[in-house]
Structure 1
Amino acid sequence: MFVKRFVVRQAMLAALLLSPFEGAAEVRTEFDAASGSVIVSGLDEKECKDLLENPSAVYLQYAEANSSRSMALTLGTAGDSLVLDPRFDLRPGSEYIVGLGDYEAKIALPGDEIKAPELVWHAPASAEIPANTLRFYLMFSEPMARGQIGANIWLERADGRRVDSPFLNLNAELWDRDQRRLTLLFDPGRIKQGVGPNQTDGAPLEFGESYRLVVAGTMQSARGAAIGGHQVLPFKVGPATRSAVRPDDWRINRPETGAKIPMLITFDRVMDRGASARLIKVLDGSGTVIPGTVTTDDLTWRFAPKAPWPATVRLRIDPDLEDISGNSLRAPFDANPNTIGQQPQPYETTVIAPGN
């Protein structure tokens, strides 16, 4: 019988180790990177039919697994080839054993290119931040490894002296679900006036001083790749912000009905950009959210509508909205006990009124 060959677009040859079936000159095993399937060619029609009728004779195992149990497979054919579709994706860079009855082959999947992570943005990114800044955010291009913050991230003064324990030491690091965005929380006890840590250790940041937040080049991704060079984020410390957020103090441009000019808010302070993106909504006259795109930074919020502005546009702001120092619409972060009162309703203001 002549040798049958099956060519799959973007398929990567993994091994040629299958022992030949009776009457077959050569059996080939390939991994198709495009579909994630394992392709076995070189079988005749009867052999393919027998295997499809007896799927228990076909198995695919992780080479390093102790169990002889096969992973879940779906069998099919493509031309003269047998196609093994695993239920779950195979791991790049791993070896697997393909078995057809008494015959086995080992396939080695090529490994993905491991990219070095990058620090893509940080917040606050203003040249000057409040002395009572509560949070610092770092966003990386790749999922990052846990358990390395203490050794790889530190705060230092302009002269290189490190600030002792500026961040709250939590058992669980504050990563987002993708392990790309890290929240560094300054110790609230050292920021809040009149409490023990503030009185004994002082605030982490001092008004008028310059600092650098340093992310070491040894900071690694979840796959073990290091950033490769220190990332240094300099900033100066301005006066503390200790008042509740007041939208009446913001500057809001008021676009005209029928136009598509973006709405721009200029804040009176450094805001928490993530909270600003989530908690400020634009509504039409019926209270329906207007579709559009929001972009934010520390000091501005910009909304570009998908359609021209309707006759009535209102801005709704959730009372949970905070600045970077933890002050909200409800109260300042340093509010005295029993002074907050009832939870306020969302703040609303009309941006475009009928007739504009």
Structure 2
Amino acid sequence: MRKPSSATGWSSCWRTLSFTVCVLLLESLTCAAGTPKEGPFQLAFEVDAKDPRLCRVVVTAENVRFWASLIDADETQFQRVLSLKRESQTDQKLSAMLGKYQLRDNRLEFKPAFPLVRGNRYQATFDPAALKLATKIPDQRLQATHVIPLPDSKPPRVLSIYPSGNQLPANHLKFYIQFSEPMQQGDIFEHFSLFNKTQGQLVLRPFRHTELWSRDGKQLTLWFHPGRQKTGVNLNVELGAILNAGQEYELRISPKWAALSGHALGSEVRKTFQAVATDERQPEIHDWKLKSPVSGTRAPLICQLGEPLDFALLHSQLSVQTVNGNQIAGKIELEDAESVWKFTPDTAWQPGAYQLQVGTVLEDLAGNSLQQPFAVDLSKQQTASNRVGDSVTLPFEIK
């Protein structure tokens, strides 16, 4: 190349050189046939070596300038560029997973907010068009899938469903379902259905879509929608009650629902029951019958409740105390469809006066508590005579 004789010549030479570099860059991104080579972006999953549930999705760019539009981006903008979704086992459309986005030099990283679940398939999607680059690059989306292998363990089991009885009031409210291990949470209601055996059809929209789990993830409280079980409110009027007295039903749990381990239940779980007359009467503690044990033994204190009451509340709202308020340590057991409460002390009974303390939030199967019925007529003022405190007591003596 001939040496330029002026500043104008140097400027012209520099424009020519810059144009040549740009052409070479574009040619490096496109093959002779006009299709991408490896492309300016690479999409991959990076998995933690110690725990395969922990991973991040990474997009590596040829040039850090490609991320210019993401420097001050919010999560919505990031999701348009890079998203991670769990593939649904049904046709349900699932939303993108939440997590943390980060730019590191030429890498765009996404770390999910929660560990991935074994056995599930996840799909990451990168859309370069969402970057709105001025440089012409192939705008074809990149996708990558990832499956975490299942461990060598047994499938989960449903250990019990409460109420355990096979007759429930037509205004029944909730079930407690206990599992052998923690289950997958989020979008669980696709795995539940209620079948009316008498009519031979599914009951539409029976559940309240709120997940209530125990801390260990092994017990789920599954509610029928209260708006359909309470007479006179909108959903009850529009859709009707969920249960009809005299008809038979099945609560069904899908075999596809999996534990956190990734193993699915494998077989459908069913609880069959008959709906009986609605229950609008509050539990009456003064109708309970106590059978006191003998001192010097660890025989149980037995309380006949007169009707099935709420499984979980029978464990949390009843306690045995001395008359001075000192709580007695022991074990609670329920029998006869949760209509019998038994308490076995850790040490032998001593002679003296005791009391059974009962929290007044204790409910029956229809949500009627010691404090008030489930369906309250707000037009009628509650009087002092029908109000109760936070707890009531039943005295008994050990001889």
TM score, norm. by length of structure 2: 0.58
* Paired residue secondary structure (1:248): helix
Q: Give the equivalent residue in structure 2 for 1:254.
A: 292
Given the superposition, is the C-alpha separation of residues 115 and 340 from structure 1 closer, same or farther in structure 2, using an over 3 Å criterion?
farther
Question: Deviation of residue 120 (structure 1)?
Answer: 0.5
Given the superposition, is the C-alpha separation of residues 269 and 66 from structure 1 closer, same or farther in structure 2, using an over 3 Å criterion?
closer
Q: Distance in 1 between matches of 2:394 and 2:185?
A: 43
* Paired residue secondary structure (2:238): helix
- Check whether the contact 1:129–1:270 (CA below 8 A) recurs between aligned residues: no
Q: What is the root-mean-square deviation of aligned Cα atoms in Å?
A: 2.5
Question: Deviation of residue 305 (structure 1)?
Answer: 1.4
Q: Give the equivalent residue in structure 2 for 1:303.
A: 343
Mapping for residues 151-300 of structure 1, pairs under 5 Å = 151-159=190-198, 160-170=200-210, 173-297=211-335, 298-300=338-340
* Paired residue secondary structure (1:276): helix
* Paired residue secondary structure (2:237): helix
- Cα shift readout 1:129-186 (whole Å, capped 9, x = no counterpart): 111111111111121112343322100011541110111134xx22222222111111
The match for 2:397 among 337, 352, 356 is 352
- Check whether the contact 1:136–1:185 (CA below 8 A) recurs between aligned residues: yes
Question: Deviation of residue 249 (structure 1)?
Answer: 1.7
- Check whether the contact 2:150–2:262 (CA below 8 A) recurs between aligned residues: no
Q: Distance in 1 between matches of 2:257 and 2:56?
A: 31
- Cα shift readout 1:288-325 (whole Å, capped 9, x = no counterpart): 11121111252221101122323112111011111221
Question: Deviation of residue 194 (structure 1)?
Answer: 2.0
* Paired residue secondary structure (2:202): coil
The amino acid of 2:261's aligned partner reads: R
Given the superposition, is the C-alpha separation of residues 340 and 124 from structure 1 closer, same or farther in structure 2, using an over 3 Å criterion?
farther
Higher helix share: 2
Given the superposition, is the C-alpha separation of residues 116 and 189 from structure 1 closer, same or farther in structure 2, using an over 3 Å criterion?
same
Q: How many residues align?
A: 252
The amino acid of 1:332's aligned partner reads: P
Q: Distance in 2 between matches of 1:322 and 1:169?
A: 21
Q: Give the equivalent residue in structure 1 for 2:159.
A: 120
Q: Give the equivalent residue in structure 2 for 1:145.
A: 184
The amino acid of 1:331's aligned partner reads: Q
Q: Which runs of 5+ in 1 are unaligned?
A: 1-60, 68-92, 94-109
Q: Give the equivalent residue in structure 2 for 1:129.
A: 168
Q: Give the equivalent residue in structure 2 for 1:318.
A: 359
Q: Distance in 1 between matches of 2:195 and 2:187?
A: 18
Q: Which runs of 5+ in 2 are unaligned?
A: 1-46, 50-54, 59-117, 119-148
The amino acid of 2:165's aligned partner reads: S
* Paired residue secondary structure (1:120): strand
- Check whether the contact 1:291–1:305 (CA below 8 A) recurs between aligned residues: yes
> Which moved further from structure 2: 300-309 or 257-266?
257-266
- Check whether the contact 2:292–2:396 (CA below 8 A) recurs between aligned residues: yes
The amino acid of 1:123's aligned partner reads: Y
